[in-house]
Amino acid sequence: MSLKYTCPGCGTPLGYKGLCWNCKCEQERTAALAWTPQQIAEKQRNLIQNIRRLGDMEDPEFTDFWQLLSYRDAITPEIQRAALAAEAFWPCEIYYHAPADVRDGLIHALLSTEDSSAASNLMSCLAMQGDDKAMETLLELERNPRPWRKGLYADPSSYAQIGGWTFDKEGHRTQLNFNTCYPMVKGTSGEKSPVRIGQPREDTCPHCGGRMADMLVLDGRDERLRFLGLDGILTAACCPSCVGFLKGPALNSFSLDGGVEILPSELFDGSERMDCYVSPDDYKALTENPFVLGRAPVPLFYGCASEDVNTVGGFGNWVQDAEYTACPHCGKPMKYLAQIQWDTVFDCAEGTLYIEFCPDCQIVSMQHQQT
């Protein structure tokens, strides 16, 4: 079947006239990055006035919110106060690092509710607010569960993970994501980069027989990546075809000199064999992708407003709930490292690969999620 149109941005064949999905996202991002201070102030004002529309996913408020947050880091305490006053508790990202008065309002609402789903939303909001008093409240609710806990699947410490942190029973806090975010951008051919997506490997997958790939190779010694605390190379390797069909995440251990050992995995349905869905052309596209590490850091939620941005650090745009892998060696939750949008490196592919690692045990986890 040949398609009638091509995307004027990238030349991808399309069944309709106009920009392809990825080029459209890029165009919207470029526009948001060019907003003047006056335009930003106007959008912030409108959001404050119509904050209720955000929860109903109405535009322009819904799109404005995500673009203000993700591209301009421009969600102000005034927006957070308006959201609290309107009891707008979704999306929880509104409350990221909200000031103390807003936090106290969230705590009050959480301790007053008897409803499981309201409690669920409010715990997510407090997780995003994320200060010590937010933790004390969640810890107290974990130790002394309210009746609404029966209606939920997860403990308050799991809700905290949504905000990029968690705590143990003794109340020790662990940070699970990094306070710095870099985008992957399209580089010129041959451009050097301390982060590469999709490097070829020679070994093959025990399930499908296809070639494994280094999905991410990252050199922590680059000045930009110092925030990761890695004095060498981290490699995340898996079978790009099977990674979405495993029981749990794909895992490998790595050594800072670039070494990799793939850890054993099982297919989700317990079968021995699986077809390989990555053709030689797909593999070539993956390993010849143009992405290099961006020059400057971006807001922490930069990868969360659309489904076409690959990022290192910050927050992922988890398709399902944020799900930090427990390290198979020490049992502690891993740290969130990077997301790779499948359709930026494969034609017509869906979903996102989320990469985490345990700095203590030097183990990497890769999970593929799609809607």
Residues that bind Zn ion in the complex, under the rule CB under 5 A: 205, 207-208, 210, 239, 241-242, 327, 329-330, 358, 360-361
Please give the biggest Cα pair distance in the chain.
62
Of the pair 74, 239, the CB lying nearest Zn ion is at 239
DSSP 15: S
CB of 179 to Zn ion, least distance (A): 21
Of the pair 187, 359, the CB lying nearest Zn ion is at 359
β-bridge pairing 211-219 and 260-262: unpaired
CB of 348 to Zn ion, least distance (A): 19
Q: Give me 193's structure tokens.
A: 């980069």
Of the pair 105, 210, the CB lying nearest Zn ion is at 210
Of the pair 182, 324, the CB lying nearest Zn ion is at 324
Q: Is 271 left (phi over 0), alpha (psi -120 to 50) or beta?
A: beta
CB of 242 to Zn ion, least distance (A): 3
Nearest of 318, 129, 97, 93 to residue 110 by alpha carbon: 129
* CB neighbour list of residue 31: distance below 8 Å, 6 or more residues apart: none
Of the pair 107, 363, the CB lying nearest Zn ion is at 363
CB of 235 to Zn ion, least distance (A): 17
Nearest of 131, 216, 164 to residue 335 by alpha carbon: 164
Q: Give me 75's structure tokens.
A: 């969600």
How many Å apart are CA 63 and CA 72, to the nearest integer?
13
Tell me the sheet residues that pair with 260. Answer: 254
H, E, C per residue of 139-197? HHHHHCCCHHHHHCCCCHHHHHHHCCEEECCCCCEEECCCCCEEEEEECCCCCCCCEEE
Burial letters 5-37, b for 16+ CB under 10 A, else e = eebeeeebebeeeebbebbebbebbeebeebee
Contact 93, 104 (CB under 8 A): no
CB of 213 to Zn ion, least distance (A): 10
Of the pair 147, 331, the CB lying nearest Zn ion is at 331
Q: At what angle do helices 77-85 and 37-49 cross, to 10 degrees?
A: 10
Nearest of 131, 129, 107, 135 to residue 119 by alpha carbon: 107
CB of 209 to Zn ion, least distance (A): 7
Of the pair 198, 210, the CB lying nearest Zn ion is at 210
Of the pair 147, 270, the CB lying nearest Zn ion is at 270
CB of 72 to Zn ion, least distance (A): 36
CB of 162 to Zn ion, least distance (A): 21
3-state SS assignment for residue 337: strand
CB of 19 to Zn ion, least distance (A): 33
How many Å apart are CA 241 and CA 355, to the nearest integer?
16
Of the pair 14, 361, the CB lying nearest Zn ion is at 361
